[in-house]
Amino acid sequence: MKYEIIEREDGKQAIFDENGKQISPDWFDWVPYSGLVMGESDYYFAKKNGKWAIFDKYGNQISPDWYDWIKKDGLVMGQSDYYFAKKNDKYAIFDKDGNMITKEWCLKIYSDSLLRGKSDFFIACNEDTCAVYYKDGKKVSEDFSIGYVKYVNRITFYDKLGVVELFDVFGNLVKSVDFIYPYKEEFLDYTKLLNI
């Protein structure tokens, strides 16, 4: 099915399907073409009163609240089941069911790899420290100084190796952080146990 954005005389916008049925639950201040209308996913952004939310093609609000900003990458673009939102100058990651993946709102989050479906991990920072987290919100690394990510230009996750590398704008390695792959089980060699 195809969808289109219709704009009223007052500038408000809504999404309609090809049969002329309004599928957005309201008229909004702005509805970007990203997502549903472009055929990238079953989701779309809407802006109302300076705040952003995500809706599905049935008109259900997916985001549990309206936020100051929602990053374009991720759920709406059809790249993953996650999206990244800003509220009161802090950030959080949510899944398509509206569950907050980060345990709290964070000062900084580096989530491009997760949002774009390239990695199952992200980096979240609060105050002076950062750590690597798995997509379920589980912390999988030791804390490291937020100073290392201050000038980071590129972050590369090597999921299977349990390593993330942080590079500056010149391509220099700033920091390498080991993390524990969540489903990696310790192998216990019973032949080496002492007989008591």
Give tens-digit pLDDT for 58-72: 999 999 999 999 999
Quick one: residue 182, left, alpha or beta (phi over 0 = left, psi -120 to 50 = alpha)? Answer: alpha
pLDDT given at position 61:
97
Enumerate the β-bridge partners of residue 107. Answer: none
CA angle 115, 136, 75 (to 5 degrees): 30
On whether both 81 and 2 belong to a single domain, the answer is yes
On whether both 83 and 3 belong to a single domain, the answer is yes
Tell me whether residue 66 is in a domain.
yes
Quick one: residue 159, left, alpha or beta (phi over 0 = left, psi -120 to 50 = alpha)? Answer: alpha
On whether both 2 and 81 belong to a single domain, the answer is yes
On whether both 132 and 173 belong to a single domain, the answer is yes
User: Which of 75, 96, 117 finishes a domain?
Assistant: 96
Tell me whether residue 101 is in a domain.
no
- Contact 120/135 with Cβ under 8 angstroms? yes
On whether both 58 and 126 belong to a single domain, the answer is no
Tell me whether residue 60 is in a domain.
yes
pLDDT given at position 187:
45
On whether both 110 and 188 belong to a single domain, the answer is yes
On whether both 77 and 3 belong to a single domain, the answer is yes
Tell me whether residue 129 is in a domain.
yes
Give tens-digit pLDDT for 137-192: 999 999 999 999 888 999 999 999 999 999 999 999 999 999 997 755 544 444 44
User: Which of 96, 118, 134 finishes a domain?
Assistant: 96
Torsion over CA of 26, 29, 35 and 37, rounded to 10 degrees?
70
On whether both 194 and 117 belong to a single domain, the answer is yes
Mean pLDDT of 26-50: 97
On whether both 16 and 61 belong to a single domain, the answer is yes
Residue 195 has pLDDT above 50, yes or no: no
Number of domains making up the chain: 2
Residue 193 has pLDDT above 60, yes or no: no
Give tens-digit pLDDT for 63-113: 999 999 999 999 999 999 999 999 999 999 999 999 999 999 999 999 999
User: Which of 56, 74, 96 finishes a domain?
Assistant: 96
Encode 81-137 in three state secondary structure.
Answer: CEEEEEECCEEEEEECCCCECCCCCECEEECHHHHCCCCCEEEEEECCEEEEEECCC
The phi and psi torsions of 14 (rounded to 5 degrees) equal: -150, 160
pLDDT given at position 171:
95
The DSSP result for 39-67, as a single string, is TS-SEEEEEETTEEEEEETTS-B-SSS-B
On whether both 90 and 112 belong to a single domain, the answer is no
On whether both 141 and 81 belong to a single domain, the answer is no
> Domain span at residue 43?
1-96
Residue 126: partners with Cβ closer than 8 Å, 6 or more residues away? 104, 106, 107
pLDDT given at position 196:
44
pLDDT given at position 63:
97
On whether both 87 and 25 belong to a single domain, the answer is yes
